[in-house]
Structure formats: C-alpha cells, structure tokens
Amino acid sequence: MNQQPWRSLDEFADTPEFREWLHREFPPFASEWPNDVNRRHFLKLMGASFALAGLGLSGCTRQPLEKIVPYVKQPEELVPGNALYFATALTLGGYARGVLVESHEGRPTKIEGNPEHPASLGASDVFMQAEILNLYDPDRSKSVLHGNEVTTWDDLLAVVAAERAKWTANAGTGLRLLTGYVTSPTLLDQIAALLKQFPAATWHAHEPLAPLHATTFYDLAKADVIVSIGNDFLGPGPAQLKYTRDFASRRRATNEAANFNRLYVAESTPTNTGARADHRFALAPQALRDFGLAIAKGNAHPKSSATVLDDLRKHAGKSLILVGDSLPDELHQFARAWNQPLQIAQTTVSNVKSFAELIRDIEGGKVETLIILDGNPAYDAPTDFEFAKKLAGVPLRIRLGLHEDETSALCQWHIPAAHPLETWSDARAFDGTATIMQPLIEPLYDGKSVHELLAALTGNVLTSGYEIVRRFWQVQHPDDDFEKFWRRSLHDGVVAETANPFQVLPAVSPNAKPEVEKPANGAVELLFLADPHIQDGRFANNAWLQELPKPFTKLTWDNAALISPATARRLNLANEDVVELKFRGRSVRAPIWILPGQADDCVTVHLGYGRTKAGNVGNNLGFNAYALRTAAAPWGGSGLEIVKTGEHHPLATTQQHQSMEGRDLIRVSTLAEFAKSPEVIAHLGEAPPTASESLYPTVKYSGHAWGMAIDLGACVGCNVCSIACQAENNIPVVGKEEVARGREMHWIRVDNYFHGSPETPRIHFQPVPCMHCENAPCELVCPVAATVHSSEGLNQMIYNRCVGTRYCSNNCPYKVRRFNFLEYDRNKFENAPVLKLLRNPDVTVRTRGVMEKCTYCVQRINRTRIDAENQNRSIRDGEIVPACAQACPGQAIVFGDINDPQSRVSRLKASPLNYDLLAELNTRPRTTYLAKLQNPNPELKEP
C-alpha cells in the first residue's frame, strides 16, 4: 500500500522519545502499541494457521508475552479503565459550540455536545464530531519553521523582540495582523492591547464565507411560518443545532397538540432546509432575487410568492423570512425588520479593517510585517486580489497555523498552532454566551496558541495560555469568589450570564459590495456555495468529512459542478463529464453531476476543494472553485460558459439510485390527512404478517428488549449520526477508490430519495442503521454462528468468530452490513501510529476479512448495565444513548427498552406514525420509523 507519504512520520513515531512519551502519557495503552514484530507475527499467523487447523487458537507460536505499564504517579481523578469527560468549546467560523470531550487515560477519543451550551444543546454537528480527527491529524505541522529550516520558538521570540523594538519606535507602522472571525474575549482583549501599544498597526479580518451584512439569529420555535430565500438555516452554521432542534420541535406529530410550522423554501440548489420544505421553489439566483423582492415589495408576482406573502401576513409577528448571504442587502433589511419580534441575537459589522484594505496597503508598500493567525488566505482569498503574488512584497511574514498549508508556504516563519483541544482559550456562541476552553491533552506537536503568540507580540509577561486566559477572566470578575466562578465555568462549559441578545459581536466586514446584476437572459448562472462537509476548505484534510457522503449527491472525496436534469439534457451532459467552466475571463475544469431539484440554467460549485498543501488526505482532490471567485462576484452571477472537454472524471458516490421505485420505504403524508385518519400511515404500505402466519413460535424476551425509533419528521439529513458513529466505533476510512467499489464502512447511512418530477422533486432523508430484526435473516445463514441474538434481542455480530462468507450481507434486505474487504486498519488513512490514540478502547478494531455493522453501541449498553448492576439498581430510561442518538440535533433517534411501556421509545412505537421498514418480509425489526408529515398550504398546489 501507499507507505511513502507516511515515512517521515513512521520514523518519528518509532523514535525512543516518542515511545517513551507515549508510555508516560498512556500507560495502559502502551502495551497495545503496534510495532513491526506484531505486524510480522500477524503475517506469520496467516500462513501458519493452515497448519494449525483443529485448535481453537490463533497463531503458530504461543501467545506472545506482552508488557503492562503502570503510571509512575497516577492522576488524582483518574480511575484506570474508566473514561473522564471535560467541558470545552470548539469554534466554526469563530462561533463557539460547547462540547463534552471523552478522555481515556489522557487521550481524548470522542466529542459530544454540551447540553448546557445554547449553541449545542447536547447535540453536535459533523464538524464537532470530526474535530477529534483533526487533533490527531498526522499531517499537522510539528515544528517552528524559518523558510524550510526547522527552528525553535525561542528563535522566533528573538525575531519578535527585535521587531518590537522597531514598533515601539515607529508606533507599529507597517505592522498588520490578519485573523479570521474572532469571538474570543481574551483574544479581542489582547488585540486591543496590541493596537493600543502600537497605534499605527492595524487588524484585518478575513473569512472567505463571511456574510456581506449583519447576521441575526431568531427563535424558530416560535415561528408558525418560515420562508427561506436561499438561506440554508438548517445547514452548517453557528446556530445550526439550535435551529434544527427548534424546527424539529414544531414537526412532531407524536405529542398530542401537534402545532406544526410551515416552511417555504426558494433556493437554487437543494439544501437540507429545502429538503424539509413544505413548498420548495427551485429558482436560479436571478429568479430567486426576484422572488424575494416580490415578497419584500409586496407585489404579487410570481403567483407562488403571492400565496407565500399572504401566509406571512396571516402570521405576522409569528413568521420569519430568512434570506441567504448571496442576496442583496435591501432584502436583508426588509427581513430583519419583519423578523424583529423573534430576534434573539445579532452580530453587526465592527471596526475591524477588511481584507481588501490590507491588500491595498500591501500594494501601497505600507506593510512591513504581516502576522497571519490561522485562516488560509493564500488559498481562499478572492482570486482577483492575487494575494499569493502580492504577499511576497511583505518583508516579514509570520504565520500561525495547524498545517504547513498554502499560506505558510509563502511566509518566512511558520508556527505550529495548538489544536483547540490542546490549549486554553475562550469563545462566544452565536448568542454571546462565552465558554472557557480547556485543554484535554498536552500539545502533541508542541504547538502554540494565538494567545501565546499575541502575548509575545505585546511583550506580555504572562506567556502560558492558561495564565493569559485566567487573568483575563479574573479582570472581568474581580470579586473574591473568582476561584468558584472559574471552576464552575470550566465544569459547566459556559460562563454564566454572558448570553446577551442585543450584544454586538465584531463581525468581518465585506471585501467589496457586489455590483447589482441585471438579468442576462438565457445565460447560465454560477453559484458558489461552501462545501457541505469541508466548508471553505479548512476541513479538507479530514478523512472522515471527506468520506462522509454529501447530502443529495452522496458524493465523497470530490466536488462537482451541479446542474439540473433539464439543463444537462439541453447541454447534452452526463455525470462525470469534465467541462470547462468559463466565468468572466477565468476558467476551471470540473466534472458534471446532475442533481434533481437544482434550478435550471444554474451551475452550483462547492468551494473548498482543489487544495495543494492541505496534507496527504486533502491534497489534489476535486477542483478549486476559488479560481472563479472574485471580490466583485463572491457568490457568482450570470454569464457562465460551459465547454465540454470530452474528458471523464470518475466520482465516488455512495448512493447510485435515488428513486424509491414505488416502494414504501419512506412513508410520507400531510398533517391534515393524518389528523383526519391516523391509519393513513398504515395504509401507505404493507403490514407485517401476523405471528400466526409463521411456522415458528415467536421468541419471548423477558428482561430488557432494546429497540430504536427514528422520527423521519425530525430528521434534517445533517449526516451527523454517520460521523458520530464512525468516531464512536473505530470505523475505518477506506478512500475514494474503495468507496467507488461500493465498500464504504459507515454503520448508519442517511439515504436520500427524490420523489416526483426531476424538476420539482420532493426530497426525503432516511437514516438506516442495523434493524436488529427479531427474525434476523442474516443470522440464519451464518455457518459459524458469528451473528446471533442476545437475550435482550440485539443482533450480535462477533468479529473474532467471523470467517467472512459475507452470506449475512447478501441476506440482509436493508444492506446495513459492512465488510472489511482489505486490511483497512492499515491503509494510508489509518496506519499512522498517532491515529491509534484516537481509537475507542471499548470497541474492537476489526481486521480484514470480517463483517461488521451497527451494534446499537453495545459498549455503551454494557457500560451502563455494569454501572447499574454494580449499584444494584435497574437501568433508567434514556440512560443508554447510542452515539447517533446523542449527536442528533433533531432528536430524531430514540433508543430504549421496548419491554417497558413507559419508555420514550415504546411510546413512539405506539404512535400510528410508526411503521416497519420492508414490513412484508416479517423480519420484525427492532428499529422502526415514524412517518414524515408535511404541512402544505392548501391554497398552493404542488410544489
């Protein structure tokens, strides 16, 4: 396999220092440390096992003697073998989402949402889940670089000291600080201090996806009618989790008083929000703007918008208009005014200087020293800025970053940044709530935090992140109970009473106002969107996110030019055809992907791909859409030219077929219908055969009987269940080629179906884990009893008994089983030694040749059961939460004991919405679904 890229790391990992450090940090783990001897032994075992038939033993030699390594000094709170949880926060585009991090003997292994935190509410988004992989990313930069020379932090401090002398002389003329979006109170304080010290210095901020206007946040739970105009509020964003929770809370028909909201979405390309719409209008950007303006101006054109407007007016004060970033300011102003009653927070443009201004200064030769804190402008700046070229004109360039990326390559000095889970810091949520971030682990590659760097720049005596952050908060809380406040804040993961709806957070000012476009008839329009999983490119080197199938296209490892079926027909294009996209004198080559529900004559490209210095995972994937993106047209525009090249670029999708073929896999009805007769759901498909139809008696389960209910009405298809499961269960990444062969390993997949016409399809999501069928077809055909039922009705899969006939997978009608066709555990994504630290010690790492599948997170079930048994009490309802359910922001997944009629899951399964997938097969699945209800406007016929 592809060993080359890792060579250096392997060497690093085999150095005595590293091992020694490893033993010191993770004693019980050390014995499991893989070394070549083991690997050779594995191979020997393979050959010799032939000779050794007849023994229930593995290996041709006796079990090798292993070492066990205790601590020298054992930490106070630590009980070896039991996990600890710490509250901290992670940021996305500057905004904090509170998290709880699970730590085993000092290794962070899993991230969960912090229920106390307003932006998380206990749930998580895909980026939170994937962040743990970023922490251990073997490609992270490991040392301070001067040019290509490895040097030290002290050398840099020396340089900084020399510079400071100059700045004190010239008040910091020529000193420029470039950051991303900052909400960290401590950092803001430090920056303020720096600017105070050196008045002539300036601070610029750059976020490639920064909105061009103030951002406001609303209380969705209170909204009866929501109109989204190109705003994917259920998609990635600072308030995604809260929005999803609130939206779902108005979509449950299980509780008596079902007060549904109604969602209208007008958008150019399908988004999670559009998929949940009761009425969805697929409109190209120009048409979308007209649609919005029609509503804003109140003139009833086109027809549909009139109806929408009526509905809005009917619910004035209890309705929302959410407008997308790509739409003009006047529309935003109208919306803000309309939404005022439901506003809960707002961030407005502050006095931060823009990136455009920085460019101008550089051109004017005004910049002596440029300090770039994180971000990656060399890659994601508007292409017409030619930042990369101009940067060379800056005499001294210092960069702090997690990776030696495109930007670092252009700076003399690169400082390895410490990962959020390695540092002390703080950050604010969308509503201003502050969280003090605490480190879970010593910096793996002695990285430095922004605070430490700024301390150096300001000549602060306090140099450790801890002191800096603590001092800042001490200043905020001079009273003597600070110690209590500090500990409580750390414990809770939120700083009490920091939320403030009317607080003004510093936002990023726009690079330039886009010129107002006049519709160019017939011309194809171009639309830029952040990639749903790697965003502006910052997650490009995260294999979990790369392999996570993107909503709708289900593509992995690539971006594509999305076009509608009609447009494809008109231009005679097929999937995977490579075209040249020519936009205002610039061009890129991109593969085509035909997407039902995409607006006609509109090409959507996702930003974030085509990176060249992301790392071994993210390099040279997809195409770089930034190459078309200018400051004047940050969200695209009309006048796109599409030239067929005749080339072909294979894309790896995990769902090749997105029609339900008229099968009752997802049952959908309307609230009205359901209110009239709840049986409507049952009539939508086959009912399971009665027990009397079976030749065999049904097995009785005394004691617990675990089951799961998935509420399709609450699922927004955010994919977090898939990645949470991957993080919890040591699921390997297999890479594009294997995915293309149909060998992806996700235990829970989110199926995505288009229903109705390809132009205006209804879009449905369905998370599919193992059904844990009571009459499991898979078990029946296993020749070695590697998959059998537990006394609690779990469909057990025993890896170490599996011989790999794959018969079970063939006989699984839901196709939820996954097979280790190759030694994925040692492929180029998994074999980096440092990644072994990421493994969940409670879950077996599967070798090649064995089947695996969803276990309902049996490790969590067992842990809870043992805890309960040790305390001689019974397991409480809701005490066991599988990773998928815990992460789900819509709380669509509910797990529990179906033998207990009072449990939440039992009550859900009792609902008339509940149905079995493929019921007619009489598999008696333990996982069942609640049908999805729409709430369409009777006055508006389809869509």
Partner 1 sequence: MNAPLYGLLAEFETPEKLLAAAQQAHALGYRKMDAYSPFPVEGLTEAIGFEKTRVPLVVLLGGITGGVTAYGMQYYSAVRDYPLNVGGRPLHSWPAFVPITFELTVLFAALAAVFGMLLMNGLPKLYHPVFNVPEFKLASQSRFFLCLKSSDEQFRLAETRQFLETLGALAVREVGR
Partner 2 sequence: MAQLFQRRANGIANAVIIGGVLLFAGLCGDIFTFGRSDYWTRVDEPQAQTVPFSHQHHVAGLGIDCRYCHTSVEKSAFAGMPPTETCMTCHSQVWKDAPVLQPVRDSLQNGTPLRWTRVHDLPDYVYFNHSIHVNKGIGCASCHGRVDQMPLTEKVQPLYMRWCLDCHRAPEHHLRPTSEVFNMGYETPTNQIALGHALINQQHVAVEGLSDCYTCHR
Partner 3 sequence: MNTPEHPVVAPGYDSESVTKKIADVVLIRPVTRGWLAGLAVAFALLMMMNFAIGWLLMRGVGVWGVNIPVAWGFAIVNFVWWIGIGHAGTFISAILLLLHQDWRTSINRFAEAMTLFAVACAGMFPLLHLGRPWVFYWLLPYPDTMGLWPQWRSPLVWDVFAVSTYLIVSLTFWYIGLLPDLAAMRDRALRKPVQLIYGIMALGWRGSARHWKRFEMAYLLMAGLATPLVLSVHSVVSLDFAVAIVPGWHSTIFPPYFVAGAIFSGFAMVLTLVIPVRKAYGLQDFITLRHLENCAKIMLATGLMVAHGYITELFMSWYSDDQFDIYMTLNRMFGPYWPAWWLLMFCNILVPQTLWFQKVRTSPLILFVVALLVNVGMWTERYVIVVTSLHRDYMPSAWGMFHGTRWDWMTLIGSFGLFLSLLFLFLRLLPAISISEMRKLVREKAEANK
**Alpha carbons 814 and 821: distance in angstroms, whole number:** 19
CA distances from residue 897 to 540, 709, 874, 927 in whole angstroms, order as listed: 40, 11, 12, 12
**Alpha carbons 922 and 367: distance in angstroms, whole number:** 72
Nearer to partner 2, 219 or 823 (CB): 823
Nearest to 489 by CA among 442, 421, 437, 432: 437
Nearer to partner 3, 217 or 765 (CB): 765
- Residue 17 binding partner per list partner 3, partner 2, partner 1, none, with a CB distance cut-off of 5 to 8 Å that depends on partner kind: none
- Residue 805 binding partner per list partner 1, partner 2, partner 3, none, with a CB distance cut-off of 5 to 8 Å that depends on partner kind: partner 3
The answer to whether residues 582 and 507 touch, using CB atoms and an 8 Å cutoff, is no
- Would you state the structure tokens that stand for residue 234, as one six-digit string? 């259920």
**Residue 390 CB neighbour total at 10 angstroms:** 16
Nearer to partner 2, 25 or 329 (CB): 25
Contact set for partner 2, span 650-679 (CB under 8 A): none
- Residue 28 binding partner per list partner 1, partner 3, partner 2, none, with a CB distance cut-off of 5 to 8 Å that depends on partner kind: partner 2
**Alpha carbons 638 and 74: distance in angstroms, whole number:** 64
Question: 425 Cβ partners below 8 Å, 6+ apart?
Answer: 184, 186, 187, 436, 437, 449, 450, 451, 465, 469
Check binding of 783 to partner 1 (CB under 8 A): no
Find the DSSP H helices in 775-902.
Answer: 777-781, 807-810, 858-870, 883-887
The answer to whether residues 672 and 938 touch, using CB atoms and an 8 Å cutoff, is yes
The answer to whether residues 63 and 94 touch, using CB atoms and an 8 Å cutoff, is no
Check binding of 699 to partner 1 (CB under 8 A): yes
- Residue 463 binding partner per list partner 3, partner 2, partner 1, none, with a CB distance cut-off of 5 to 8 Å that depends on partner kind: none
Nearer to partner 1, 649 or 853 (CB): 853
The full 3-state SS of 205-226, as one line of letters, equals ECCCCCCCCCEEEECHHHCCEE
At residue 909, φ and ψ (nearest 5 deg) are -65, -25
Nearer to partner 1, 50 or 696 (CB): 696
- Would you state the structure tokens that stand for residue 690, as one six-digit string? 């009665």
**Alpha carbons 193 and 683: distance in angstroms, whole number:** 68
Candidate residues 65, 169, 257, 392; the one interacting with partner 2 per rule CB under 8 A: 65
Question: What is the distance in angstroms between the CA of the first residue and the CA of the last residue of the chain?
Answer: 50
Residue for token digits 């490579």?
Answer: 578
Amino acid at 739: V
Nearer to partner 3, 43 or 516 (CB): 43
Element (H, E) at 915: strand 914-915
- Residue 698 binding partner per list partner 1, partner 2, partner 3, none, with a CB distance cut-off of 5 to 8 Å that depends on partner kind: partner 1
CA angle 603, 606, 612 (to 5 degrees): 130
Nearer to partner 3, 366 or 828 (CB): 828
Longest distance between any two alpha carbons in the chain, whole Å: 93
- Residue 366 binding partner per list partner 1, partner 3, partner 2, none, with a CB distance cut-off of 5 to 8 Å that depends on partner kind: none
- Residue 192 binding partner per list partner 3, partner 1, partner 2, none, with a CB distance cut-off of 5 to 8 Å that depends on partner kind: none
Nearer to partner 3, 5 or 804 (CB): 804
Candidate residues 774, 825, 830, 842; the one interacting with partner 1 per rule CB under 8 A: 774
Candidate residues 777, 804, 849, 912; the one interacting with partner 1 per rule CB under 8 A: 777
**Alpha carbons 41 and 579: distance in angstroms, whole number:** 50
Q: Where are the beta strands (DSSP E) in 633-679?
A: 636-648, 652-653, 668-670
Nearer to partner 2, 619 or 844 (CB): 844
Classified as helix, coil or strand, 427 is strand
- Residue 82 binding partner per list partner 1, partner 2, partner 3, none, with a CB distance cut-off of 5 to 8 Å that depends on partner kind: partner 2
- Residue 918 binding partner per list partner 1, partner 3, partner 2, none, with a CB distance cut-off of 5 to 8 Å that depends on partner kind: partner 3
Amino acid at 701: Y
Element (H, E) at 39: helix 36-51
**Alpha carbons 509 and 182: distance in angstroms, whole number:** 12
**Alpha carbons 253 and 931: distance in angstroms, whole number:** 9
- Residue 775 binding partner per list partner 1, partner 2, partner 3, none, with a CB distance cut-off of 5 to 8 Å that depends on partner kind: partner 1
- Name the minimum Å distance from CB 704 to partner 2: 9
- Name the minimum Å distance from CB 923 to partner 1: 9
Candidate residues 2, 3, 58, 698; the one interacting with partner 1 per rule CB under 8 A: 698
Candidate residues 20, 155, 737, 942; the one interacting with partner 2 per rule CB under 8 A: 20
- Name the minimum Å distance from CB 788 to partner 2: 7
Classified as helix, coil or strand, 729 is coil
Q: Where are the beta strands (DSSP E) in 376-535?
A: 396-401, 413-416, 425-428, 434-437, 506-507, 524-530
- Residue 697 binding partner per list partner 2, partner 1, partner 3, none, with a CB distance cut-off of 5 to 8 Å that depends on partner kind: partner 1
Nearer to partner 2, 65 or 695 (CB): 65
The full 3-state SS of 106-167, as one line of letters, equals CEEEEEEECCCCCCCCCCCCHHHHHHHHHHHCCCCCCCEEECCEEECHHHHHHHHHHHHHHH
DSSP state of 72: S
Using CB under 8 A, which of the segments 466-474, 481-489, 768-776, 856-864 binds partner 2? 856-864
- Residue 823 binding partner per list partner 1, partner 2, partner 3, none, with a CB distance cut-off of 5 to 8 Å that depends on partner kind: partner 3
Candidate residues 358, 773, 835, 884; the one interacting with partner 1 per rule CB under 8 A: 773
Chain centroid offset of residue 6 CA: 26
Using CB under 8 A, which of the segments 96-104, 644-652, 787-795, 883-891 binds partner 1? 787-795
Question: What would the x/- binding string for partner 2 be over residues 780 to 819, using CB under 8 A?
Answer: --------x-xxx-x-x-xxxx------------------
Check binding of 301 to partner 2 (CB under 8 A): no
- Residue 32 binding partner per list partner 2, partner 3, partner 1, none, with a CB distance cut-off of 5 to 8 Å that depends on partner kind: partner 2
**Alpha carbons 741 and 492: distance in angstroms, whole number:** 45
At residue 266, φ and ψ (nearest 5 deg) are -110, 125
Using CB under 8 A, which of the segments 375-383, 457-465, 754-762, 853-861 binds partner 2? 853-861
Classified as helix, coil or strand, 186 is helix
Nearer to partner 3, 131 or 664 (CB): 664
**Alpha carbons 423 and 454: distance in angstroms, whole number:** 14
At residue 113, φ and ψ (nearest 5 deg) are -70, 155
Nearer to partner 2, 614 or 858 (CB): 858
**What is the b/e burial string over 434-450, where b = at least 16 CB atoms within 10 angstroms of the residue's CB?**
bbbbbbbbebbbebbbb
- Residue 776 binding partner per list partner 3, partner 1, partner 2, none, with a CB distance cut-off of 5 to 8 Å that depends on partner kind: partner 1
- Name the minimum Å distance from CB 863 to partner 2: 9
Using CB under 8 A, which of the segments 364-372, 476-484, 628-636, 785-793 binds partner 1? 785-793
- Residue 460 binding partner per list partner 2, partner 1, partner 3, none, with a CB distance cut-off of 5 to 8 Å that depends on partner kind: none
Candidate residues 696, 702, 871, 902; the one interacting with partner 1 per rule CB under 8 A: 696
Binding interface with partner 3 (CB under 8 A): 45-47, 49-50, 53-57, 655-663, 665, 738, 741-743, 749, 751-753, 766, 768, 777, 780-785, 788, 801-807, 809-811, 813-815, 817-823, 847-851, 918, 921
- Name the minimum Å distance from CB 424 to partner 2: 24
Chain residues that interact with partner 1, rule: CB under 8 A: 696-699, 773-780, 782, 785, 788-791, 924
Chain residues that interact with partner 2, rule: CB under 8 A: 20, 23-24, 27-28, 31-32, 54-58, 62-63, 65-74, 79-82, 702-703, 788, 790-792, 794, 796, 798-801, 842-845, 855, 858-859, 861-862, 866, 869-870, 872
